[in-house]
Structure 1
Amino acid sequence: MNLLIIMAAALWGRGAGLLIPRAAYRLSVPPGEPWRAVCPAGHPFAGAGRGWLGRARCADGDSYGPSTPVLAAVSAVVCAVLAATTGARPELLVWLLLAPIGVLLVTVDFTVERLPDVVTLPLAVITLALLGVVALLPGAVGNWSTALLGSLALGAAYLILFLINPTGFSFGDVKLALTLGAVTGWFGWDILLAGAYTGFLLFVLYGLSLIVARRAGRKTAHPIGPFLLAGACFGVLLSSFPR
């Protein structure tokens, strides 16, 4: 049964990953600029409110933006790992919905160092709402109250860090923290702290590696969102071990 769940999760992740590239391309613009409305060749995307999901490919067949096979593979692997860790518990459905969106955010943040509000704000509300439903189902192992408090606590912590060091943190990181606090807080405060610490540690190691490789200086800005997301994933994996 677990193998079937893992395989199904991987297929879901791959399918969802195929829909990411066009959204990633459209959202990968500097802060203050409107979302891209045309492809590099000047072809407009289909209709108002549409044309967000799918392969990044022009009408003449040329591809653009991030690699579709890479994003699909990454999304599939993340979903499979989450399924292997969580098993047949109802919260797995929430993690599988969030994983491709996390891959999208990582792609955009690495590209333009931006976490778009159009994704991060609804994501926090949707995550808490879905976890509220999951908490009512049999087999769930988390706590919705702790998820809500964790969301507020981690969001407040990153807001303080943003106010102290606005050049090192963006307000997008604060909004993303609302979702990550809910996800890790679902399992308790120890998982929330472990996920947050791991995210910071990965970010520091990434910055140090670039300095050692002489590809960046001590004051070079780096996107922290991808590492916060990685830390939250680590928290979810850690929750499967006895505590």
Structure 2
Amino acid sequence: MYATLIAAAVSWGAAAALLVRRAAHRFAVEPDEPRRGACPAGHAYASGPRGWLGPAHCADCPPTAAPGRRRAVGVPLTGAVGCGLLAAATGWRPELAVWLLLAPFALLLAVVDRRVHRLPDPLTLPLAAAVPLLLGVAALLPGHAGSWRLSVLGALALGGAYLVLFLVNPNGMGFGDVKLALPLGAALGWYGWPVLLAGAFAGFLLGAGYGLGLVARRRATRGSAIPFGPFMIAGALLGLLLGALARA
């Protein structure tokens, strides 16, 4: 049964990553531009869910328009590994359903931020409300291993900390990062303050390591902007794994 849970989570993570490619293409625009309504070849997307789910290229595109193998495998592999690790660490607890539901949105935000250095409000703001609500439902179910009260406080604490950093140095952090800190803080706070601090610190550590690596390879300077959202999400994943394993 436990192996079945992990296998199902791995399949879900890979499938979710494949399904959000079209949404990532549509959201990956500059702040003053409208969301894309057509595929990279210029074919208009269908209305409704079909226009948001699936590959970026539509059925009318030639086979040669598909992305390269490395790009095609990277995000699904990340989704599969991340969801599999969450399932292995969390087990049959109700909060696992919350983590898996959030995985597609986390992947989508990471891809969009990596491409255009922005975290769209239509994704971050609903997540800020959805995560505490979903965890509130999980807190009503037997077998949960967290605290809804600490989840709400965690959202406020991490969001407030990022807001202070933004106000102190607006050029060093985007306001989208502040908004993303709210749902991530809620998720990390579920397992308590030590997990919240560990997940937040891991995000900064990963981002700093990436930035220093670019500087060392002369692909950026100390003043260059980097997409911080993916590292916030990766740090939160590490924090959730730590919190889940501590309560195993």
TM-score normalized with structure 2 length: 0.93
CA distance in 2, matches of 1:64, 1:209: 26
CA distance in 1, matches of 2:48, 2:141: 38
CA distance in 1, matches of 2:188, 2:102: 13
* Counterpart pick for 1:228 among 222, 225, 232: 232
Shift of 1:75: 1.0
Gaps of 5+ in 2: none
Cα distance change on mapping 1:221 and 1:132 into 2, 3 Å: same
Show CA shifts across 1:23-81 (max 9, x none).
11111111121111112222111126750111122313333699443322221111111
- Residue identity opposite 1:7 in structure 2: A
> How many equivalent residue pairs?
243
CA distance in 1, matches of 2:48, 2:97: 30
Shift of 1:2: 1.4
Match in the other structure for 2:66: 63
Match in the other structure for 1:172: 176
Shift of 1:240: 3.1
> Does the 8 Å CA contact 1:22/1:54 hold for their aligned counterparts?
yes
- Residue identity opposite 2:66 in structure 1: S
Instruction: Using the aligned pairs only, state the percent identity.
Output: 56
* Counterpart pick for 1:196 among 175, 197, 200: 200
Show CA shifts across 1:64-99 (max 9, x none).
699443322221111111101111101000000111
- Residue identity opposite 2:61 in structure 1: D
The answer to whether 1:78 aligns with 2:82 is: yes
Match in the other structure for 2:45: 45
Structure with bigger helix share is 2
> Does the 8 Å CA contact 2:188/2:199 hold for their aligned counterparts?
yes
Cα distance change on mapping 1:48 and 1:92 into 2, 3 Å: closer
CA distance in 1, matches of 2:161, 2:246: 28
TM-score normalized with structure 1 length: 0.95
Cα distance change on mapping 1:210 and 1:67 into 2, 3 Å: closer
Q: How does 1:91-102 map to 2 (within 5 A)?
A: 91-102=95-106
> Does the 8 Å CA contact 1:6/1:83 hold for their aligned counterparts?
yes
Secondary structure class of the residue paired with 2:208: helix
CA distance in 1, matches of 2:245, 2:134: 24
CA distance in 2, matches of 1:60, 1:53: 16
> Does the 8 Å CA contact 2:40/2:56 hold for their aligned counterparts?
no
Secondary structure class of the residue paired with 1:239: helix
Calculate the aligned-residue CA RMSD, in Å.
1.7
Point out the more displaced range, 144-153 or 38-47: 38-47
The answer to whether 1:136 aligns with 2:137 is: no
- Residue identity opposite 1:119 in structure 2: L
> Does the 8 Å CA contact 1:121/1:175 hold for their aligned counterparts?
yes
> Does the 8 Å CA contact 2:89/2:241 hold for their aligned counterparts?
yes
CA distance in 2, matches of 1:118, 1:150: 22
Cα distance change on mapping 1:36 and 1:6 into 2, 3 Å: same
